[in-house]
Amino acid sequence: SHELKTPMAIIQAHAEALSEGAFHDEVMGPKFVDALLRNSERLNTIVSSMLELAHLESGTYDLFLSMYEIEPLIENSIELFQDTDFEHSYQITIDVEKDLKAYIDVQAFSHIVHNFVENAIKYTSRKGIIRVKGKQTDDGVRVSVEDNGPGIESKYFSRIFERFFRIDKGRARDEGGTGLGLSIVRNMADAMGAQVGVCNSELGGAEFWCLFPNVH
Ligand SMILES: Nc1ncnc2c1ncn2[C@@H]1O[C@H](COP(=O)(O)OP(=O)(O)O)[C@@H](O)[C@H]1O
Ligand SMILES: [Mg+2]
């Protein structure tokens, strides 16, 4: 994929420059080494995500589906975000119906929630309000993550789950984005027989949801 070529070309160019003498340049030396590091990290992120996607698409991804209470799982998947220094700049609330259970794989479910919340934080720059909801509907158990960020234009609602799709490539790249997060999410949901989608949130930003079918 050409997504791999950019960081690879940058690594190659900087390594060459270093070996051709920049290594001894007090100013450029450290800069080039820094660029090497940043781009190899980026390459690493992309390759790991691509491998995960390939694993999912191969159909050999192991799932253990059962009925689980979801509120504790949601709490665990966002624990990490509540520990960070950024806490002052956003607020996450959880609003899940009491004792709500869904037919899920714990790891895949947690991954989806984690990813939605990570995006909500990432794309909601200041004073973020993030709400995770869970409720029983006629169609199944609906889990959603809403934010008060910039939201998503409706013309992108389905494209957003395509691999490597990002609305603002430059910005997403600065944030370390690969555009693979949501395609992994969609594949995991598929594997569980769940649906995913996005709509406008009453909070002003985006609302990403996942619907787990009722099992009887
Ligand atoms: N909560 C959100 N608010 C606004 N835009 C979002 C949100 N979540 C995802 N996006 C958009 O969807 C794109 C794809 O998301 P994702 O697959 O997770 O890739 P990335 O690695 O860029 O985060 C993002 O680049 C961003 O443009
Ligand atoms: Mg993401």
- Are residue 87 and residue 194 in the same domain, yes or no? yes
Q: For residue 120, which atom of ligand 1 is closest to its CA?
A: 1
Identify the pLDDT of residue 90. Answer: 87
Are residues 38 and 80 located together in one domain of the fold? no
Assess whether 21 and 116 both reside in one domain.
no
Cα 170 to Cα 4: distance, rounded to the nearest angstrom: 16
Mean pLDDT of 12-23: 93
Residue 186: both structure tokens together: 């969609």
Same domain? For 81 and 26 the reply is: no
CA 150, distance to chain mean position in Å, is 17
The Cα–Cα gap between 190 and 42 comes to: 27
91, β-bridge pairs:
129
User: Same domain for 83 and 151?
Assistant: yes
Classify residue 8 by burial, with Cβ atoms within 10 Å: 0-12, 13-18, 19+: middle
For residue 210 and ligand 1, the question of a CB distance below 6 A is answered with no
Same domain, 131 and 178: yes
From 57, 80, 104, the end of a domain falls on 57
Domain boundary among 57, 74, 92: 57
Are residues 53 and 83 part of one domain?
A: no
Biggest CA–CA distance in the chain, Å, is: 69
Cβ–ligand 1 distance for 163 under 6 Å, the answer: no
Same domain, 35 and 126: no
pLDDT at 178: 85
d(CA 179, CA 169): 9
**Domain interval for residue 124:** 66-212
Q: Is the CB of 114 under 6 A from ligand 1?
A: no
Q: Tell me, yes or no, whether 10 and 71 share the same domain.
A: no
Buried/exposed code over 83-108 (b: 16+ C-beta within 10 A; e: otherwise): eeeeeeebebeeebeeebbbbbbbeb
Which of 57, 81, 97 lies at the terminal end of a domain, its last residue?
57
Report the C-alpha gap between 40 and 67 in whole angstroms.
Answer: 41
Beta strand extents in 97-205 (DSSP E only): 101-104, 128-137, 140-147, 195-200
Q: Return the best residue to mutate from 47, 123, 203, 209 for the ligand 1 pocket (most ligand atoms within 8 A of CB).
A: 123
User: What ligand is nearest to the CA atom of residue 160?
Assistant: 1
Q: Which amino acid is at 45?
A: T
**The total number of structural domains that make up the chain:** 2
Ligand 1 within 6 A of CB of 166: yes
Measure 129 CA to ligand 2 centroid, in angstroms: 17
Distance from the alpha carbon of residue 21 to the mean position of ligand 1, in angstroms: 40
Residues with CB under 5 A from ligand 2 (ion): 119, 181
CA of 195 to the centre of ligand 2 (A): 18
Q: For position 85, what pLDDT does the model report?
A: 59
Contacts of 158 (CB under 8 A, 6+ apart): none
> Which comes out higher in pLDDT, residue 110 or 125?
110
Task: Looking at the CA of 53, name the nearest ligand.
Answer: 1
**Residue 87 pLDDT > 60:** no
What is the Cα–Cα distance from 114 to 53, expressed in whole angstroms?
17
CB atoms within 10 A of CB 165: 16
pLDDT of residue 25: 92
Q: Tell me, what CATH number does 193's domain have?
A: 3.30.565.10
Mean pLDDT across 123-133: 90
State whether the beta carbon of 56 lies less than 6 angstroms from ligand 1. Answer: no
Query: Are residues 181 and 116 part of one domain?
Result: yes
CATH number of domain containing 11: 1.10.287.130
Does 200 lie in the same domain as 93? yes
When pLDDT is cut at 50, 70 and 90, the band that residue 19 belongs to is very high
The CA radius of gyration of the chain, in Å to the nearest whole number, is 20
**pLDDT score for 113:** 98
Residues 89 and 186 in one domain: yes
Q: Which tokens hold the place of 149?
A: 């960020």
